[in-house]
Protein backbone atom coordinates (compact mmCIF):
# COMPACT_ATOMS: atom_id res chain seq x y z
CA UNK A 1 0.00 0.00 0.00
CA UNK A 2 1.30 3.43 -0.83
CA UNK A 3 -0.01 6.95 -0.70
CA UNK A 4 1.48 9.85 -2.57
CA UNK A 5 1.20 13.22 -0.87
CA UNK A 6 1.33 15.98 -3.48
CA UNK A 7 1.73 19.61 -2.61
CA UNK A 8 -0.67 21.89 -4.48
CA UNK A 9 2.10 23.65 -6.36
CA UNK A 10 5.46 22.19 -7.42
CA UNK A 11 8.12 24.85 -6.98
CA UNK A 12 11.40 24.11 -8.76
CA UNK A 13 13.33 26.95 -7.14
CA UNK A 14 13.27 25.42 -3.66
CA UNK A 15 14.00 21.91 -2.43
CA UNK A 16 11.03 20.68 -0.42
CA UNK A 17 11.32 18.20 2.45
CA UNK A 18 8.51 15.99 3.74
CA UNK A 19 8.22 14.52 7.26
CA UNK A 20 5.62 12.59 9.26
CA UNK A 21 5.45 14.48 12.54
CA UNK A 22 2.55 12.72 14.31
CA UNK A 23 0.29 9.67 14.16
CA UNK A 24 2.90 7.19 12.93
CA UNK A 25 2.58 4.68 15.75
CA UNK A 26 5.15 1.86 15.85
CA UNK A 27 6.75 3.38 12.76
CA UNK A 28 4.09 1.77 10.59
CA UNK A 29 4.70 4.12 7.68
CA UNK A 30 7.68 5.78 6.10
CA UNK A 31 7.87 8.85 3.88
CA UNK A 32 10.37 9.80 1.22
CA UNK A 33 11.74 13.20 2.32
CA UNK A 34 12.12 14.40 -1.28
CA UNK A 35 9.04 13.06 -3.09
CA UNK A 36 6.52 12.82 -0.24
CA UNK A 37 5.61 9.20 -1.10
CA UNK A 38 4.24 7.42 1.96
CA UNK A 39 4.85 3.66 2.09
CA UNK A 40 4.25 0.85 4.57
CA UNK A 41 7.35 0.29 6.71
CA UNK A 42 6.07 -2.13 9.36
CA UNK A 43 3.04 -4.15 8.20
CA UNK A 44 2.82 -6.15 11.44
CA UNK A 45 -0.13 -5.41 13.76
CA UNK A 46 -1.58 -2.68 11.61
CA UNK A 47 -4.64 -0.91 12.96
CA UNK A 48 -7.80 -0.23 10.99
CA UNK A 49 -7.10 3.48 10.56
CA UNK A 50 -4.38 6.07 11.00
CA UNK A 51 -4.38 9.85 11.09
CA UNK A 52 -0.97 11.10 10.02
CA UNK A 53 0.24 14.66 10.19
CA UNK A 54 2.63 15.41 7.36
CA UNK A 55 4.82 18.50 7.18
CA UNK A 56 6.39 20.00 4.08
CA UNK A 57 9.12 22.63 4.38
CA UNK A 58 11.39 24.60 2.07
CA UNK A 59 13.83 25.34 4.89
CA UNK A 60 12.22 28.63 5.86
CA UNK A 61 8.47 28.11 5.63
CA UNK A 62 6.42 25.00 6.33
CA UNK A 63 2.88 23.69 6.14
CA UNK A 64 1.12 20.73 7.76
CA UNK A 65 -1.71 18.55 6.46
CA UNK A 66 -3.55 15.46 7.65
CA UNK A 67 -3.45 12.14 5.80
CA UNK A 68 -6.21 9.65 6.61
CA UNK A 69 -5.16 6.05 6.03
CA UNK A 70 -7.82 3.31 6.07
CA UNK A 71 -6.55 -0.27 6.29
CA UNK A 72 -8.71 -2.87 4.56
CA UNK A 73 -8.22 -6.52 3.79
CA UNK A 74 -7.54 -6.99 0.11
CA UNK A 75 -8.58 -10.23 -1.53
CA UNK A 76 -7.14 -11.45 -4.80
CA UNK A 77 -9.81 -10.46 -7.30
CA UNK A 78 -8.17 -12.14 -10.26
CA UNK A 79 -7.93 -8.84 -12.11
CA UNK A 80 -4.57 -7.24 -12.78
CA UNK A 81 -3.28 -4.53 -15.07
CA UNK A 82 -1.02 -5.45 -17.95
CA UNK A 83 1.74 -3.17 -16.61
CA UNK A 84 2.86 -2.47 -13.07
CA UNK A 85 3.24 1.25 -13.86
CA UNK A 86 2.14 3.22 -16.91
CA UNK A 87 4.14 6.18 -18.21
CA UNK A 88 3.10 9.12 -20.37
CA UNK A 89 4.47 12.49 -21.46
CA UNK A 90 2.93 15.83 -22.45
CA UNK A 91 4.81 18.87 -23.82
CA UNK A 92 4.67 22.01 -21.75
CA UNK A 93 2.09 24.66 -22.79
CA UNK A 94 0.14 22.06 -24.75
CA UNK A 95 -3.64 22.59 -24.97
CA UNK A 96 -4.35 19.77 -27.42
CA UNK A 97 -6.68 17.02 -26.28
CA UNK A 98 -4.55 13.91 -26.66
CA UNK A 99 -4.26 10.40 -25.26
CA UNK A 100 -1.33 10.00 -22.88
CA UNK A 101 -1.84 6.34 -21.90
CA UNK A 102 -4.24 3.44 -22.32
CA UNK A 103 -4.61 1.03 -19.41
CA UNK A 104 -6.02 -2.47 -19.73
CA UNK A 105 -6.57 -5.40 -17.41
CA UNK A 106 -5.92 -9.12 -17.59
CA UNK A 107 -8.06 -11.87 -16.11
CA UNK A 108 -11.45 -10.54 -17.14
CA UNK A 109 -14.14 -12.97 -18.23
CA UNK A 110 -15.81 -12.93 -21.63
CA UNK A 111 -18.33 -10.07 -21.85
CA UNK A 112 -17.40 -8.93 -18.35
CA UNK A 113 -18.18 -5.24 -17.93
CA UNK A 114 -15.20 -3.35 -16.48
CA UNK A 115 -15.33 0.32 -15.55
CA UNK A 116 -12.21 2.48 -15.23
CA UNK A 117 -11.95 5.55 -13.01
CA UNK A 118 -9.30 7.91 -11.61
CA UNK A 119 -9.30 7.81 -7.82
CA UNK A 120 -7.42 11.13 -7.49
CA UNK A 121 -9.02 13.12 -10.30
CA UNK A 122 -7.72 16.48 -11.52
CA UNK A 123 -8.96 19.01 -14.05
CA UNK A 124 -6.10 18.04 -16.37
CA UNK A 125 -7.05 14.43 -17.19
CA UNK A 126 -10.09 12.24 -17.83
CA UNK A 127 -10.34 8.51 -18.45
CA UNK A 128 -12.70 6.61 -20.71
CA UNK A 129 -14.85 4.50 -18.37
CA UNK A 130 -14.86 1.52 -20.75
CA UNK A 131 -11.81 2.13 -22.95
CA UNK A 132 -9.26 2.93 -20.22
CA UNK A 133 -7.82 5.72 -22.38
CA UNK A 134 -6.45 8.62 -20.34
CA UNK A 135 -6.77 11.93 -22.18
CA UNK A 136 -5.97 15.54 -21.49
CA UNK A 137 -8.82 18.03 -21.13
CA UNK A 138 -7.36 20.93 -23.11
CA UNK A 139 -6.14 22.91 -20.10
CA UNK A 140 -2.64 24.28 -20.65
CA UNK A 141 0.18 22.45 -18.86
CA UNK A 142 2.75 24.63 -17.11
CA UNK A 143 5.88 22.75 -16.06
CA UNK A 144 6.88 25.60 -13.76
CA UNK A 145 3.70 24.95 -11.76
CA UNK A 146 3.82 21.14 -11.76
CA UNK A 147 6.19 18.94 -13.75
CA UNK A 148 4.80 15.53 -12.80
CA UNK A 149 1.35 14.01 -12.23
CA UNK A 150 0.67 10.68 -10.54
CA UNK A 151 -2.76 9.22 -11.25
CA UNK A 152 -4.26 6.25 -9.41
CA UNK A 153 -6.49 4.30 -11.78
CA UNK A 154 -9.05 1.73 -10.64
CA UNK A 155 -10.67 -1.02 -12.68
CA UNK A 156 -13.89 -2.37 -11.19
CA UNK A 157 -16.14 -5.17 -12.38
CA UNK A 158 -19.43 -6.47 -11.01
CA UNK A 159 -20.15 -10.12 -11.70
CA UNK A 160 -23.60 -11.57 -10.98
CA UNK A 161 -22.02 -14.66 -9.43
CA UNK A 162 -20.07 -12.63 -6.85
CA UNK A 163 -21.34 -10.35 -4.12
CA UNK A 164 -18.26 -8.12 -4.05
CA UNK A 165 -16.95 -6.34 -7.14
CA UNK A 166 -13.58 -7.31 -8.55
CA UNK A 167 -11.11 -4.44 -8.47
CA UNK A 168 -7.53 -3.68 -9.50
CA UNK A 169 -5.37 -0.57 -9.18
CA UNK A 170 -2.39 0.86 -11.02
CA UNK A 171 -0.25 4.02 -11.04
CA UNK A 172 -0.01 6.22 -14.14
CA UNK A 173 2.88 8.70 -14.18
CA UNK A 174 2.61 11.67 -16.54
CA UNK A 175 5.69 13.85 -17.06
CA UNK A 176 5.49 17.39 -18.46
CA UNK A 177 8.28 17.94 -20.98
CA UNK A 178 10.23 21.18 -20.72
CA UNK A 179 9.97 23.69 -23.56
CA UNK A 180 12.23 26.73 -23.58
CA UNK A 181 9.56 29.40 -23.41
CA UNK A 182 11.90 31.82 -21.60
CA UNK A 183 14.63 32.15 -24.20
CA UNK A 184 17.49 34.55 -23.42
CA UNK A 185 17.41 38.05 -24.91
CA UNK A 186 20.26 40.51 -25.37
CA UNK A 187 19.83 43.97 -23.85
CA UNK A 188 21.31 47.39 -24.56
CA UNK A 189 21.76 46.74 -28.28
CA UNK A 190 23.81 47.54 -30.30
CA UNK A 191 27.20 46.89 -28.67
CA UNK A 192 30.31 49.02 -29.41
CA UNK A 193 33.93 48.51 -28.43
CA UNK A 194 37.28 50.24 -29.02
CA UNK A 195 40.12 47.90 -29.98
CA UNK A 196 43.83 48.63 -30.18
CA UNK A 197 45.52 48.12 -33.59
CA UNK A 198 47.93 45.61 -32.03
CA UNK A 199 45.19 43.49 -30.47
CA UNK A 200 45.81 39.76 -30.68
CA UNK A 201 43.41 37.04 -31.70
CA UNK A 202 41.26 36.08 -28.74
CA UNK A 203 41.57 39.39 -26.89
CA UNK A 204 38.32 40.30 -25.14
CA UNK A 205 36.73 43.48 -26.45
CA UNK A 206 33.32 43.49 -24.75
CA UNK A 207 30.73 41.40 -23.00
CA UNK A 208 27.14 41.04 -24.14
CA UNK A 209 24.52 40.96 -21.38
CA UNK A 210 21.37 38.89 -21.45
CA UNK A 211 18.19 39.21 -19.44
CA UNK A 212 19.11 36.05 -17.51
CA UNK A 213 22.27 37.80 -16.34
CA UNK A 214 24.44 35.42 -18.35
CA UNK A 215 27.36 36.86 -20.33
CA UNK A 216 28.90 35.97 -23.67
CA UNK A 217 32.46 36.96 -24.63
CA UNK A 218 33.14 38.10 -28.18
CA UNK A 219 36.58 38.37 -29.81
CA UNK A 220 37.70 40.16 -32.97
CA UNK A 221 36.49 37.38 -35.24
CA UNK A 222 32.89 37.79 -34.00
CA UNK A 223 32.57 41.50 -34.80
CA UNK A 224 30.20 42.63 -37.52
CA UNK A 225 32.49 45.26 -39.04
CA UNK A 226 35.69 47.22 -38.32
CA UNK A 227 36.68 50.71 -39.48
CA UNK A 228 39.91 52.76 -39.20
CA UNK A 229 39.80 55.81 -36.91
CA UNK A 230 42.97 57.60 -35.69
CA UNK A 231 45.09 54.47 -35.33
CA UNK A 232 42.38 52.49 -33.58
CA UNK A 233 39.65 50.15 -34.72
CA UNK A 234 36.06 50.70 -33.68
CA UNK A 235 34.32 47.34 -33.63
CA UNK A 236 30.56 47.20 -33.83
CA UNK A 237 29.05 43.90 -32.84
CA UNK A 238 25.89 43.26 -34.77
CA UNK A 239 23.97 41.04 -32.43
CA UNK A 240 20.46 39.79 -32.93
Q: In this predicted model, what pLDDT tens digit does every residue of 132-150 receive, in sequence order?
A: 999 999 999 988 888 899 9
On the CB side of 198, how many CA atoms lie within 13 Å of its CA? 0
The whole-number average pLDDT for the span 113-119 is: 93
All residues at 6 or more sequence positions from 56 whose CB lies less than 8 Å from its CB, including other chains: 5, 7, 16, 17, 18, 36, 62, 63, 64, 65
Local confidence band at 116 (pLDDT 50, 70, 90 cut-offs)? very high
Taking 80 as the threshold, does the pLDDT of residue 122 lie above it? yes
How far apart (Å, rounded) are the C-alpha atoms in residues 80 and 172? 14
The whole-number average pLDDT for the span 49-69 is: 93
C-alpha distances in Å from residue 139, one per residue of 8, 24, 90, 136, 223: 17, 38, 12, 7, 45
Nearest to 71 by CA among 5, 4, 169, 2: 2
Taking 80 as the threshold, does the pLDDT of residue 219 lie above it? no
Please tell me the least confidently modeled range out of 21-35, 45-59, 115-129, 201-215: 201-215
- The pTM for the full model equals 0.56
Local confidence band at 189 (pLDDT 50, 70, 90 cut-offs)? confident
pLDDT of residue 161: 67
Cα angle: 41, vertex 149, 96; to 5 degrees: 165
Which is higher by pLDDT, 200 or 226? Answer: 200
Taking 80 as the threshold, does the pLDDT of residue 57 lie above it? yes
Amino acid sequence: MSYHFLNKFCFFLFRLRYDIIDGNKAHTFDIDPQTGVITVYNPERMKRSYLLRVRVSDGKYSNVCQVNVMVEKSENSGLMFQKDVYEGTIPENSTRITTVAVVNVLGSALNEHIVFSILNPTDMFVIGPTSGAIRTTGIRFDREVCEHYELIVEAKSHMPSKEKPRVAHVIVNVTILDINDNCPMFVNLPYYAVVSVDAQKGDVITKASRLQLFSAVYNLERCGCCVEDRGKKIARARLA
